[in-house]
Amino acid sequence: MEQERSLPIRVLVVWEPILPTDWSRPSGMVQSRISDTRVVQYWDNDHLVAMELQHQLSSEPSCCQRKGTLWDLAVLYGKQAQWGSSSPVFADGPVVDAAPDLAKLLASPQMQTSSTH
């Protein structure tokens, strides 16, 4: 776990209204579940990030869509990625199920040498 926390990465957590109970940004208590200092949390009321991400994926995800909107998806970009013109190196979900595979990828020698952001 300590090795994962030392990786030079940036994490964007995007919260969006998907379920009927998602009528506003998550409370501080909900956001505190993700305490890593490399994380920036963002409320995307209009699903702008999900729409752009949909265009960047090289294939249709096998999960994580509700009424055509992506959600509960873990995505990893390489260090040199440019938002809007790069495809992710990893995209899977739901997040709770994808986390172990994402952790393995982040710990792999390939990713260690490329130092992802």
Query: Which pLDDT tens digit goes with each residue over 28-74?
Result: 898 888 888 888 999 999 999 999 999 888 888 888 999 889 999 99
Residue 8 pLDDT > 50, yes or no?
A: yes
Give me the pLDDT at residue 78, please: 84
| Residue 84, Ramachandran bin (φ over 0: left; ψ between -120 and 50: alpha; else beta) | left
DSSP state of 6: H
Residue given tokens 């949390």 in the structure block: 41
Single pTM value for the model: 0.77
